[in-house]
Amino acid sequence: MTKVLEKNHIKSALQHGDGRNGGLPFNTKYFDGINLNRSAIERRVNTLAGRRSVKKEFQAAWLLKAISMIDLTTLAGDDTRGNVMRLCEKAKQPVRHDILEKLGMKDSGITTGAVCVYHSLIPYAKEALEGSGIPIAAVSTGFPAGKNSIEEKIAEIKRSVAAGASEIDIVISRDLVLESKWKELYEEIKLCREACGDAHMKTILATGEIPTYTKVAKASWVAMMAGSDFIKTSTGKESVNATLAVSLVMIRCIRDYYELTGVKVGYKPAGGIQKAKQALDYLILIKEELGNDWLTPELFRFGASSLLGDIERQLEHYVTGSYSAGFRHPMA
C-alpha cells in the first residue's frame, strides 16, 4: 500500500504543465537493486528477426513511419554551409515525388523528425528550414567527448538555444558512470536541463563506452530522474554505437520510469543504423516493449545519416520491383 501511495504522489506531482519530464529528486533507491543478465538480454533481442516479419505494403508503411522519426544528421569535421543546406532540403523532401505518388502519399507532407548539426551550423539550418516546422537539434556540451567544464557546457547549451535550436543533444561525463558517481552525474544533467529552458534535451550515454548493461540501466535512470526528455545511446563517434541489446535495457528503464511517474521519456538510438531492415527491428522492439504511444517523433528518433538513403531505395523497390543503384538515393 505504501508503494502504491508513493507512486500516486509522484504521478500527481509530475502530470501537469507541458507534459515534459520534470524529473525526480535524486534517490538511489530507484536503481540500487538493478543487476542485469547479459545473456538473457541478448537472447531476447536475438529472437526478433525470427518472430517478426513485415512485408510488402506493411513494410512500406513502417518505413515511411521510420522516415518521420529520423534526426537527419551531419556531424563531420568538413561540414559546410552547402552541406547543411542540402541536408535540410532532403529533410523537407525525404522521398522522391514519383515514389510518393506511386505509394499514394503525394500529399502526405512527410518530413524527417529533425535536422541535427553542430552549433556553428545552426544559422544555416535555421535559414534552410524556415517555415518547414522541422526542428533543429544541436549537439552540445563538448560533443563528442564531453570533457569540458560544466560552466562551458552550460554556456554552449545557452548559445545553441539562442541561435535557434529547439532540441539539444548533450553528452555526459562518462567517467562519472564508470566510477558510479551517480549524484554528480545527476547534478550535471540537471544543470544542463535547466540551461535548455524550453528546448527539449536528449541525453547521450555513449553506451559503447559503458562496460556493463547494469551501469547502462543505472545511467538511464539517473538521466531520467534529472529531467531528460530523451535518453540516447551514442554520439555516433564511438567504436560501438546503438545495438538492440542496449536498446532493450534503456527502453525497459523508460517503461519502469513511466510506470512510476506517468511521464513518457523518449528514446533515440544513434550510430551504425544504416539499413532499412535495422530500422524495422528497432520499431518492432519499441512496439513490443513500450507500445504504439512511443511510435511517434515526439518519443522516438533515429540518429542517422545514411539510413534515409536505404529506406528510399527499399521504397522504390516496392513500387517498381527493381533495386536501383545507391547513388540514386543520396542523403543530401
Catalytically annotated residue among 71, 90, 153, 169: 169
Cα 274-276-281 angle, rounded to 5 deg: 100
What number of CA atoms fall less than 13 Å from residue 20's CA on the CB side? 16
**Beta-carbon neighbour count of residue 202 at 10 Å?**
27
| Grid cell listed for 238 | 564511438
**Interatomic CA distance for residues 188 and 226, integer angstroms:** 9
Q: Which conformational region is residue 321 in: left (phi greater than 0), alpha (psi within -120 to 50 degrees), or beta?
A: left
**268 an active-site residue?**
yes
**190 an active-site residue?**
no
Strand partners, 228: none
What is the DSSP pairing of strand 70-73 with strand 266-268? unpaired
> Omega into 144 within 30° of 0, i.e. cis?
yes
Which residues are CB-contacts of 76 (< 8 A; sequence separation ≥ 6)? 83
Strand segments, DSSP code E, in 13-100 are: 70-73
Catalytically annotated residue among 190, 264, 268, 281: 268
**237 an active-site residue?**
no
- Alpha-carbon dihedral 162, 164, 166, 168, rounded to 10 degrees: -70
**Beta-carbon neighbour count of residue 48 at 10 Å?**
17
**Interatomic CA distance for residues 172 and 204, integer angstroms:** 6
**Interatomic CA distance for residues 315 and 100, integer angstroms:** 9
Catalytically annotated residue among 215, 232, 264, 281: 232
User: Look-up: residue for cell 547502462?
Assistant: 216
Q: Are 152 and 166 in contact (CB under 8 A)?
A: no
Catalytic site positions: 169, 232, 268
